Amino acid sequence: MIHQGGLTGHPRHVHRAAVGALFFLQGLCFASWASRIPTIQQRLGLSEAALGVALLALPAGSMTSLPFAGWLVAKRGSRQVVLGAMVLYGVVLTGLGAVDSLAGLMGVLYLFGFAGNQVNIAVNTQAVGVEALYGRSVMASFHGLWSLAGFVAAGVGAAMMGWGVAPLPHFVGTLGLLLAALAASASFILPDGPGRNPEGKLLTLPDKSLWGLGMLAFCCMICEGAMFDWSGVYFQRVVHAEPGQVGLGYAVFTASMATGRFLADGLVQRLSLRRVFQLSGGLIAVGLMTAVLLPSLPTALLGFLMVGFGVSSVVPLVYGAAGRSKTIPAGVALAAVSTIGFLGFLIGPPLIGFIAEVVSLRGSFTLIACLGLGVAILGSRKAD
C-alpha cells in the first residue's frame, strides 16, 4: 500500500506535484504523436482507410497491456512500474518518427499503446494514493495536467508542421525533456509496495458497479479516440484549414478538456455526479454536430471546444471511483474498468476511417456524436 502522511518524509503537496508531473509527461508523449498524424499520413501516402487500420494497432497494444499492467502494479508497486514504463514510452515515441511503411507504423504503434497503458495504470494508482493523503477527490485535476500537456504539445506540433520540421527530431526533443523532468521528480513519487493479493490473476472481472463505470468510460473514450486521432485530419480534409492551422482543432479540444478537468471536482460537489455526466454527454453531441453541420474554421473550433468540455470529467471521475474499490486492488480495478473503456479507443478510430472511406468523414463524425449521447443516457442511471 502507499504510505500515508508523514511516513513518506515529504509533505503531501510535494507528492501531488510529482504525480502531477507524471501525468503531464504522459500527456506530452501522447499528444506529440497525435499532433503529427497528418504529417505521417502524408509522408507514408496513407488513405483514410489505411490510416484507420494503422491506428487500430495503438489501442490493440493498450488492450493487450491492461491486464498485465494491473497485475504488475499489484505485484511490484506503482512507483517501480511508472518509472520504467515512462522511459519506455518516450523511447518508443521516437520510433514513430522514424517509420517508413504501414507495417512499421503499426508495429511501433502497438508498442506505443502497450507502454502507454503501463504508465496509465501505474500513474492513476499513484493518483489514488494522493487522494488518500488529501481525503477528497483530486483525480480530475491530475487528468487536467495530462490535457494541459496535450494543449502544449499540440501547439508545438502545429509550429513544427508550419516550420517543416520532421517528426523524428520533434520526438527526440520530447524524449530529452521527458528524461530530464523524470529525473527531477522521481524521488518524490509515492513509495508503495505490493497491493492486496499480489500473486492473483492477471485480470479480475469487474463487479456490477465497475461494469457501470466501464460502460461510461467506453462511450466517452470512443469520442476521445475520434478527437485524438482524427481532429487534425478533419481540419485538413473537411474544414480545409491552412497547414499552420491544421492543429488548431486539436489544440482547442485539449485546452477545453484541460480546463474542464480542473473544474470537474468542484462541479461534482456543486451539482451531482449524475448531472455532470448528463451535461458532458450533451456537450459532446452538440459540439460534434456543430463541427459536422457548419464545417468552417470558427464554427468547427467552437464545436471542438464543446467536445473538449464534454469529455473532460467523465474518465477521471470513473477512474477515481474504480480506484477506491474495496474488493480488489486499485491497480487491478483500474485495469478492469480501463479494459472496458479502451474498447472505445479500439473501435472508434478505425470505425471513423472505414465510414469515411464509404460515406464521408463528416458522416463518421455524425455517428460519433450519436454515440456521445450514450454518456448522458448512462449517466442518468448513475446513482449519486
234 alpha carbon, distance to own chain's centre: 19
What is the CA angle 261-267-272, rounded to 5? 125
The 10 Å Cβ neighbour count of residue 98 is 13
186 alpha carbon, distance to own chain's centre: 22
**Which pLDDT belongs to residue 77?**
86
Mean pLDDT across 91-102: 95
Are the C-beta atoms of residues 36 and 173 closer than 8 Å to each other?
no
| Percent of the residues in the chain that have a pLDDT greater than 90, as a whole number | 33
Closest CA to 376 of 310, 300, 305: 310
Q: What are phi and psi of 203, to 5 degrees?
A: -135, 125
The 10 Å Cβ neighbour count of residue 174 is 23
CA distance 106 to 224: 20
pTM: 0.78
Structure-block grid coordinates of residue 174? 520530447
**Which pLDDT belongs to residue 2?**
47
CA distance 23 to 29: 10
The yes-or-no verdict on residue 109 having pLDDT over 90 is yes
**Which pLDDT belongs to residue 1?**
44
The yes-or-no verdict on residue 279 having pLDDT over 80 is yes
Task: Return the amino acid letter for 322.
Answer: A
The yes-or-no verdict on residue 90 having pLDDT over 90 is yes
CA distance 300 to 236: 12
The yes-or-no verdict on residue 65 having pLDDT over 70 is yes
DSSP characters over 162-219: HHT--HHHHHHHHHHHHHHHHHHHGGGSPP----SSTTS-S-----HHHHHHHHHHHH
Are the C-beta atoms of residues 268 and 314 closer than 8 Å to each other?
no
Q: What's 98's DSSP letter? A: T
Mean pLDDT across 70-74: 83
Q: What are phi and psi of 27, to 5 degrees?
A: -65, -35
CA distance 94 to 187: 26
CA distance 281 to 278: 5
Structure-block grid coordinates of residue 102? 504501414
CA distance 121 to 113: 12
Mean pLDDT across 195-207: 52
The confidence band for 24, taking pLDDT boundaries of 50, 70 and 90, is very high
CA distance 65 to 297: 38
Are the C-beta atoms of residues 248 and 232 closer than 8 Å to each other?
no
The yes-or-no verdict on residue 18 having pLDDT over 80 is yes
**Which pLDDT belongs to residue 8?**
56
CA atoms within 13 A on the CB side of 143: 28
Are the C-beta atoms of residues 369 and 289 closer than 8 Å to each other?
yes
Task: Return the amino acid letter for 18.
Answer: A
3 alpha carbon, distance to own chain's centre: 27
9 three-state secondary structure: coil
Closest CA to 239 of 220, 224, 223, 252: 252
The confidence band for 199, taking pLDDT boundaries of 50, 70 and 90, is very low
Q: Give the largest Cα separation in the chain, rounded.
A: 60
Q: Give all domains of the chain, ordered by start, each with its CATH number.
A: 11-187+203-380 (1.20.1250.20)
- Contacts (Cβ under 8 Å, ≥6 apart) of 383: 274
Closest CA to 215 of 303, 349, 321, 58: 321
The 10 Å Cβ neighbour count of residue 189 is 23
CA distance 29 to 171: 8
